[in-house]
Amino acid sequence: MILRISGLNGDRSSDLLATAAAAPEPLHPIKLDGLTVVDDPVFIDTLKSEANLPQGIGAAIAAFY
């Protein structure tokens, strides 16, 4: 089965195949954050250093843990 996608410039399926053939190397696994506070031993430190929170909010939330 061949998927053909056409746009304003006509048949683009060959462009898509060329792009897929030139794909970068496979992805490598990364370490994910814990799903909950209990699973994430650095949650409090991370929360305190979040740049997108107003100053003091991260520390105030951390006080509850």
The answer to the question of residue 42 being in a domain is yes
Note the pLDDT tens digit of each residue in 2-56. Answer: 666 555 455 566 677 777 776 677 888 988 888 888 888 888 898 888 899 998 8
Work out how many domains the chain is built from and give that number. Answer: 1
Q: How far is CA 25 from CA 20, 21, 22, 28, 36, in A?
A: 11, 11, 9, 9, 32
The answer to the question of residue 47 being in a domain is yes
The answer to the question of residue 3 being in a domain is no
Q: What is the pLDDT of residue 11?
A: 56
CA 55, chain centre distance (Å)? 25
CA 38-44-50 angle, 5° bins: 130
Model pTM score: 0.45
For residue 62, what are the domain limits? Answer: 28-65
